[in-house]
Structure 1
């Protein structure tokens, strides 16, 4: 049952926030966020009772939707049994969560190291790769985001890396992005071939025997939902195998239903050496992440101490939320639904939007993981300005849609449980806002 709404509580929330909360990735003096009072499914509401479609899934993590009753009940039940226990103990719920995760991984992946989120999942996967190979360097793409801890932020390719470059041994390269190709490619096949040639030359130039791992988001998310072209991931796997390099696939954003598959890499011809996850595994109800580890790497630490750990690794409340979320996603067909609504509803709706609006340069994605790339000129592909994106964001909020805005893109990333009617409502809002901006000359 939802608590009665009181506008005064919203005012108090804003006052306390301004006075005492320091926000991530923000200039504190100009920060202005919505005060959210509650949520259910794909919808959240403020203290005035105004409802919003959450087409950002918060930070692309609320895959099962807000306040799923089975997950809420599981957290409540676990809290009554055992709220917390140290990671050095054995815990039944932790084992059940790990079992469900590895059951969806490739053969030979039988262990899970639990973390507090995606960043420290990537951090520990990099640590494992270095210990397993005895090598130091880590390769990752410029268009990527892997988290905001020591190695994870330096593995990240975007601007957030630059003020935080304190970790050693990181090298970046360009991954495929046909719409803004670094390789003068005109087809997906050309982009794949030329991006692989570029990666091969980086490996050769850095010294293959010095490289521990290549870290990739299976489908780069914050960087633009860059669906890999045919043959690219298989080509990365072949290059890595040739030189004894591990492949770490970051499934933090793309995993557990987001692409319409349990793991995004299931749609491509690749099996990684390490898999990182977070976000969708329990829809962010309790902070959690982890590394799925194959026997070949886990066995390294049968007699050798793994030099890593976290106070809250495998926290019982988080584990209970994973068990309930994955069971509900399975029994309710949520992953299949994400694939179907992406192919049958979102993709054609975005194609119609693109044909109607000159501001739309490109649309791409799969499942409930899409991007609308906006340009001032389709010929030059010049991105629209930050001011234009600000007007678009404000216009969508006015129409009751919480958007995910990144650079010159709208990421269309609703919960996996989104309905066709809700997609239609969001598309109508996108259409109205783009029409208003175009008429105003941007």
Structure 2
């Protein structure tokens, strides 16, 4: 490899690692080290700029055939860019932030999947992503047992987010809200589960085991039902597709691995119940309400107030109200923007798909659905073997499901980490573990 290509790969890898740390741990870091806030506010955008430059001009593009998901992504991006012009002219900074939130995660995933990296660089990025996710899960478990600190409670109260469920507070991990943590926990659990089941426990490695178990527990006890819905749907997709995944082991081995993952995850919840019984009891009660939502207050507010208003607004403006008009960005800039008079159903649509439609219209929503569908089917923006699709597929399916009850696509910090997970798939497998297994096979053959 030429020196220039090596240097560009090194710069790309460093920028990717800095992006993971700044997006996956920034709220937790700035919570206790206020001096880092100004740096961590600009670092993610700087990292994205470096990734784009090194990917486009560093001769690191993968010369592989693109999947239909790649073309669906570009169609969606083109529509977003066209729709951003009048929004930027009318709303200024609010629309710029809205544009950033709409393309952020997708741009990261496209860059990661189409940039040629060495196995060592992939392994390094993978380990950092797993470390950041595991740190979030461990901090969340600490909070589940010992409670949130005074600083964390004060930050929650100032954020204006919903954080109290009966006598328990939603967990944060290293995130700013429980919604962001639930997004990370659910996607991490699904990615780890698919990786362990399809590749085997020894190849997955101890870090994936720990992440899988801790994220399974956090997905339950974070007290966000959207994460539970997403995990159940993604698990159903994983079960349905396991028979079509071409792996070296027999189908019976896959079934045993899946059973083992679910059983140990349940035992982990039982273990936490000994330390935090009230939280686990409430979490299980919240899980049971998924089967009787008609009597749930928050569900009825969505059905009776929020969703009808959102659908009415979409009917009156089928081409959308501009980027940044709805979702987390609109909440930040309130009371500005064209939907400022509609806090429920406009700014807070409580549905990721309506969140998209309110900003870029029904054509944009159609392209967004096409993007998610093709991304889930092909598991990559490149044409990859079927065995490399499972981990990405379940992450995308989890994301698609949780968006039924929230504007998760616009949460840029956690969306960046989910994009890394969806881009890693099995192509970022633990190289050391694979080499160890290969040596064991050679020894047995002799």
TM-score under structure 2 length normalisation:
0.31
User: Could you say which structure has the greater relative contact order, defined with CA pairs below 8 angstroms and 6 or more residues apart?
Assistant: 2
More helix by share: 2
